[in-house]
Structure 1
Amino acid sequence: MSDNKDMLDENTQQQTDEADAETETKAETETAENSDAKTAENPDAKDYEALLADEKDKYLRLYAEYDNYRKRTSKEKIEAYGDAAAKTIAEILPAIDNFERALDADTDDESYKNGIRMIFNQLQDILKKIGVTEIEALNQPFDPKIHSAIKQIDDENFGENTVCQVFQKGYRLGDRIIRHSMVAVANC
């Protein structure tokens, strides 16, 4: 009898375990269905996703705007430096022209002329160091972008629209024209 009782207890225990497992499975299924239903029915989750997408879009736009601002200010700094350098050099050029005229003047005092030559050479070296170059004009084709024609000469020794005389040298800083060359142009 005790064997029957043990068997009965085992059957009862087995049925109880199966019932518990079935109940747990149903509960898990219902919980998952309720969770899916809540997510589908719950506008909060979709609202949060939309809000997250909106905030991400705002962030990306702000980042792009800042990057453009950084590039623009960097470009403006470079342009401001170029403008300031060009203006400063343009103010110094008349003094350099005067030193050149002083070198061309006739004088018997060689020490005076050597002093002027030394100062002129120093100024030329400074201009080269900062990137200023003289615009070659004599015997070059006339280019209104770099030359300023103040006189026309009929001379068969030069080709048509060729610079035949330079009255004032022109200078450039990189690609920027600081001063145009004042020239005479030959017309055949």
Structure 2
Amino acid sequence: MNVAEEKKAEEELEPVSAPEEVPQEEAPKEVKETKGTDPWEEKYNAERDARLRLAAEYDNFRKRAVKEKDGAYGNGKADTVAKILPIYDNLERALNQPTEDAAYKKGVEMTMTELTKILNGLGVEIFGAPGDPFDPNLHNAVMHTEDESLGKNVLVQVFQKGFRIGNKVVRFAMVQVAN
């Protein structure tokens, strides 16, 4: 090859390299436009979106069902405990009554102990004791007394103990408060 032929070959190569210098940003735009016009691609995207939405909806339904089931169980447990509380109150009154029959008193104490174990096993917390601070979220003040020696907002007397399961109050404690 001579020099003239080499120059001619280089000139032919230069125009070929010029189209490669096209900015890369423009090329993907054209590809995206062609993707958007493809009806099969649009149908695929629509079906995929519908499937994703359905999966998300099912997941939300499953979470809501679990939450409702737990709430129903908690409400059922609280209702059952509320129906047992009069038995607890009667046993407590029986224990506070003086009696000469030791066997009778022992039987009532054993029954009260078993009932308390059952309530504790269900997660029931008993609250409301004289000397505790008054909390309107837990206590129902039915009486008050003015006595500076007792302090302010302190339970003086508990007429009926309160019960709660977790954060849910099953029965408010009926109390007398010192103001």
In the superposition, the TM-score normalised over structure 2's length comes to 0.78
Q: Give CA-to-partner distance per residue, 1:83-121, whole Å, 9 cap, x none.
A: 000000000001111001001111111001101110110
* Unmatched segments (≥5 aa) in structure 1: 1-39
In the superposition, the TM-score normalised over structure 1's length comes to 0.74
Counterpart of 1:130 in structure 2 is: 122
Moved over 6 A (4+): none
Counterpart of 1:119 in structure 2 is: 111
Aligned length: 144
Q: Does 2:161 align with 1:164?
A: no
Q: Which moved more, 1:174-183 or 1:155-164?
A: 155-164
Instruction: Kindly indicate whether the alpha-carbon contact (under 8 Å) linking 1:137 and 1:147 is maintained by their aligned counterparts in 2.
Output: no
One of 78, 83, 98 as aligned partner of 2:90: 98
One of 145, 157, 171 as aligned partner of 1:153: 145
Counterpart of 1:55 in structure 2 is: 47
SS at match of 1:63: helix
Counterpart of 1:83 in structure 2 is: 75
Instruction: Kindly indicate whether the alpha-carbon contact (under 8 Å) linking 1:137 and 1:181 is maintained by their aligned counterparts in 2.
Output: no
Q: Does 2:145 align with 1:179?
A: no
Instruction: Kindly indicate whether the alpha-carbon contact (under 8 Å) linking 2:127 and 2:163 is maintained by their aligned counterparts in 1.
Output: yes
Paired amino acid for 1:70: R
Paired amino acid for 1:67: D
Instruction: Kindly indicate whether the alpha-carbon contact (under 8 Å) linking 2:124 and 2:163 is maintained by their aligned counterparts in 1.
Output: yes
Question: How far did residue 161 of structure 1 move?
Answer: 1.3
Please say which structure displays the higher CA radius of gyration. 1
* Unmatched segments (≥5 aa) in structure 2: 1-33
- RMSD over aligned CA atoms reads 1.1
SS at match of 1:115: helix
Instruction: Kindly indicate whether the alpha-carbon contact (under 8 Å) linking 1:134 and 1:172 is maintained by their aligned counterparts in 2.
Output: yes
Q: Give CA-to-partner distance per residue, 1:19-54, whole Å, 9 cap, x none.
A: xxxxxxxxxxxxxxxxxxxxx6xx6xx111001000
Paired amino acid for 1:168: Q
